[in-house]
Amino acid sequence: MFSSFFSTAPPVDPHAPNFHPVCSGRPSTELFGELEPKDTEWTCPGGFAVETQIFYFFLEDGTSLMCQVIHSSVGVWYPTIQITSKIYNPNTGEKIWKSVNVTNFVTPPPGLDKRSSKADQFSITYKSKPGSDEPEGYTIRANYDNELQISLDVARPASVPGFKVGKGPKGGFSYFGHDLAKPDGYVVHRFWPRTTGKGLVMLKGKALEVKGVGMMVHAIQGMRPDTVAGRWNFAHFQSEAHGGVSAIQMEFTTTDAYGKRGAGSGFVAVNIGSLVLANKLVGVTAETKWPGEPQPDDAEVVSRAFHARTAHDPDTGYDAPTELIFRWAGPVIGGAQGDVLDATTQVELGPPNASKGLIEKVDVLAEIPYVIKTMVNYVAGTKPHIYQWFNPATLRVTGPDSLIPGLSEGLTIEGNMYNEATFIS
């Protein structure tokens, strides 16, 4: 309060840029930034921030499984740490959702670094095997309640490094505010785009052996969630074809307060993606969509999510997508001059009241801690919802034959797709 009365900082042009997306100023050949050990350490930021680590899996029997740790800080209050899990079997329609506020959270646990964490209800232990086919991974042990316990070993293939957009300590960051040295806040994402997982799930006293493929993301929103973005899109495609294929995409759209010309120039979409072909990371894409500026179809790098068709959903009040399209294009990492990739997937969902593959419409305020819920609801005056879908999908890819024979003519790859569309305001 006092700093606003007695500030000696020079006045800021209100029409100067107050949003700086992660891909600004980065040429197409420098979008791939390999993760460093510090990138996936827990930072447990103070102020108003949410840090999360999420593991997604597609199991061999067609089940979707998600494990997540969420560290939420709200000003001067003690942080709230939750561990959540969602298991969805599309064959039976069975859905298990668990969310537990944990106690005695610590990072690092004794004898480990801050890539590991533990609490009374769980432990997630980072493990390293340099020089092997699976040089790093995690061991997850979680006891949600009497109904659900999870024990999983997760590994990252050596040929699929973890990535962020851009190299160095500032790689991966989008900044909010006029002053980059002292930003209002930030968003950062670090990905393992393809992982393997195996272990046991104890469900209602029955032991289920599980095995599958997936991804991991470690992300931080370093400001209030309702000021970061009004919309989010997420796509996660995996296939066992051609030795292993993955296509992921994460997109957020800023509120009107943050844009190229200050407050009132927002609704800027930032999209990050990656492609894994033949179990090798071959493409990282990132693109910014500024309002009113065209995005050419033949751009050197394309990273885009489209709600191609929508319909009003009376359950939530939002215009929900009935058809989704995701596209990736850009140079091959480590490829020859002129080697480029182009991939597209289209998901037909149908009307909101009979949406194909819909797992759930998550009422966000019903799931987050009470203190955050009251503040977000008061500030935003909205009822955020997350739509979650899990469907069979096809990915159409073209690229050099050196990656997969016949790729230059285009390949159609069958797999599974998990999607989220989040509406905050």
Mean predicted confidence (pLDDT) in 204-231:
93
pLDDT band at 365 (very low <50, low <70, confident <90, very high): confident
User: Would you say residue 4 lies in a domain?
Assistant: no
Residue 14 is encoded by which pair of tokens? 């209100």
Residue 385 to residue 230: CA distance in whole angstroms: 11
Give the chain's mean pLDDT. Answer: 93
> Which carries the bigger pLDDT value, residue 402 or residue 376?
402
pLDDT more than 70, % of the chain:
93
User: Would you say residue 341 lies in a domain?
Assistant: yes
Nearest Cα to Cα of residue 68 among 112, 125, 124:
124
Mean predicted confidence (pLDDT) in 147-166:
98
Residue 89 to residue 64: CA distance in whole angstroms: 6
List the single range of 75-84, 224-233, 252-261 with lowest mean pLDDT: 75-84
* 47-79 pLDDT, tens digit each: 889 999 999 999 999 999 999 999 998 776 789
User: Would you say residue 2 lies in a domain?
Assistant: no
Residue 288's contacts (CB-CB under 8 Å, 6 or more residues apart) are 21, 23, 24, 268, 269, 270, 271
Query: pLDDT at position 425, please?
Result: 77
User: Would you say residue 184 lies in a domain?
Assistant: yes
Expressed as residue numbers, the domain containing 195 is 14-423
User: Would you say residue 6 lies in a domain?
Assistant: no
User: Would you say residue 162 lies in a domain?
Assistant: yes
User: Would you say residue 66 lies in a domain?
Assistant: yes
Judged against a pLDDT cut of 70, whether residue 1 lies above it is answered with no
| CATH code at position 142 | 2.40.370.10
Residue 348 to residue 344: CA distance in whole angstroms: 13
Judged against a pLDDT cut of 80, whether residue 308 lies above it is answered with yes
Query: pLDDT at position 370, please?
Result: 52
Residue 80's contacts (CB-CB under 8 Å, 6 or more residues apart) are 70, 71, 72, 74, 101, 369, 371, 372
CB 419 within 8 A of CB 323: no
Query: pLDDT at position 372, please?
Result: 53
List the single range of 21-25, 57-61, 172-176, 362-366 with lowest mean pLDDT: 362-366
List the single range of 11-15, 70-74, 145-149, 213-217 with lowest mean pLDDT: 11-15
Query: pLDDT at position 16, please?
Result: 95
At 286, the amino acid letter reads A
Query: pLDDT at position 7, please?
Result: 41
* 234-286 pLDDT, tens digit each: 999 999 999 999 999 999 999 999 999 999 999 999 999 999 999 999 999 99
3-state secondary structure 26-61: CCHHHCEEECCHHHHCCCCCCEEEEEEEEEEEEECC
Residue 193's contacts (CB-CB under 8 Å, 6 or more residues apart) are 160, 162, 163, 215, 246, 248, 274, 276, 281
* 18-58 pLDDT, tens digit each: 999 999 989 999 999 999 999 999 999 988 899 999 999 99
User: Would you say residue 8 lies in a domain?
Assistant: no
Query: pLDDT at position 368, please?
Result: 62
How many domains does the chain contain in total?
Answer: 1
